[in-house]
Structure 1
Amino acid sequence: MTEPKNRRGLLIILSSPSGAGKSTLARRLRDWDPNLCFSVSATTREPRPGEVDGEHYRFITESEFKGLVTEGEMLEHAHVFGNFYGSPKGPVEEAINRGCDVLFDIDWQGAQQITNSVLGQHTLSIFILPPSIAELRRRLETRAQDDADTIARRMQKSWDEISHWGGYDYVLVNDDLDETEEQLKTILTATRLRRLQQPQLTDHVRALQTEFEELP
């Protein structure tokens, strides 16, 4: 699709328990609109084999990370398994000012931090629910990415994640992947037309007012 002109971009937050289909839906959105980009997180952990700095993560030292937090340059951040992870504000702000939308695949805590940040007014937050807990487990088992212990941990964590569904702008039950994808596209298309995302409207209305005042 064609990227709208003269538009301010969105911070699109997708959250869900593991196995609800969030990552697949994010990939489908990227296929639908290649102008969408993922936010590249910063982390203090060491790069893994094959990871490229600036593409998979922005790899920085702990002191650099804490400095960015202190300076208010992190939209959200967390300490996970001994390492820090976060979303730098600068690249995101630059992207939305160019009219590009930025996707965030984060949990409810990160979503709250971004929504309450200086860029919060430009967020669109969407939570993806599974049709049932039994189906959630089935999806985790059939994708064959995790062992039994990991699946058990993901299932234990899922209810805590689901319990925060009320903090999102939209909540979709992913019973049918194609239908949910279409719902996401509809939500995104409509939100792009919010008055706040169209800064050029102010000048347009002023021009209309001038034209009206010059009528004979």
Structure 2
Amino acid sequence: MKLTLEDDEGTEKSGKLWCAKKNKKKRKKMPYNSNKSEEGDVEEVLTYEEMALYHQPANRKRPIILVGPASCGRSKLHQRMLRSDSDRFADPVYHTSRPVRDGEVLGQHFHFVSRAELENDMANGRLVDVFERDRQLYGIRVDSVRQVVNSGKTCLINLYNQSPKILKLLDLKPYVVFVAPPPQERLRALMGKEGRNPKPEELREIIEKAREMEQTYGHYFDTVVVNADLEKAFGELLHHVNKLDTEPQYVPAAWLH
């Protein structure tokens, strides 16, 4: 398409519709590199990415990333996985700018740092996840994920910022699981069990948010788990995680170079 547009530059074609505007300035054509920041490739049309089979080593497990809209049960699945086998699964320790509370152990509950330090980490791409709560920053450093991976355990991350793009920049070959909500009536019943009485528009918003995430980030997802029942969703998630030990999976070829 780009070649056609460039060849016809300066000429008028009647009766034709183009799906992209002509660009008077010819761009140097660059192959897509999944290690580059996508913000730097905004004008590139990404149509193909070379994939290759990868079998994770027994002592270096791929991090499992849970993404999905709010109220879809990500946190419950995350905690259920952690409780199922503490010798196998672990989550990285968050860094936070909030003060230490009574009973909290440095490095066990949180790493306590200054807000300026976390903002610097964010600016330099050292955070896998970051969010703000009660005017305090919380973030997961790449080094914290790497520490869990190097211990031989499977690192579980419940992603809060809902943008898995940065995970493509990791050299740890993450496995991304999209936790999707069930149909509206089932979602209402599940939230009702938690003592919540959601309005119809709240339910529609959750389902619409899930649809938007699939459209925007679906190419980052390795699998989808519909959380219509926590135990069944847990069993399905565990099945996918177990397969990583027994079956090779396709990953971007750039990850293996």
- Same fold by TM (over 0.5)? yes
Q: Verify: 1:126 aligned to 2:169, yes or no.
A: no
Partners of 2:247 and 2:143 lie apart in 1 by 23
Q: Could you say which residue in structure 2 is the equivalent of 1:28?
A: 80
Partners of 2:66 and 2:170 lie apart in 1 by 19
TM-aligned CA deviation for residue 48 of structure 1: 5.6
TM-aligned CA deviation for residue 186 of structure 1: 1.4
1:5-84 correspondence to structure 2 within 5 Å? 6-34=58-86, 35-47=88-100, 51-79=104-132, 82-84=135-137
1:162-173 correspondence to structure 2 within 5 Å? 162-165=211-214, 166=218, 167-173=220-226
Structure 1 gaps, min length 5: 197-216
Residue 18 of structure 1 aligns to a residue in which SS?
coil
TM-aligned CA deviation for residue 103 of structure 1: 0.8
Aligned residues: 187
Q: Could you say which residue in structure 1 is the equivalent of 2:233?
A: 180
Q: Verify: 1:140 aligned to 2:191, yes or no.
A: yes
Letter matched to residue 178 of structure 2: F
TM-aligned CA deviation for residue 193 of structure 1: 4.1
TM-aligned CA deviation for residue 93 of structure 1: 0.9
Q: Could you say which residue in structure 2 is the equivalent of 1:106?
A: 159
Letter matched to residue 136 of structure 1: L
TM-score (norm 2): 0.60
Q: Could you say which residue in structure 1 is the equivalent of 2:31?
A: none
Structure 2 gaps, min length 5: 1-55, 250-257
Give percent identity, aligned residues only: 22
CA contact (8 A) 2:68 2:162 kept: no
CA contact (8 A) 2:65 2:159 kept: yes
Residue 72 of structure 2 aligns to a residue in which SS?
coil
Partners of 1:112 and 1:73 lie apart in 2 by 14
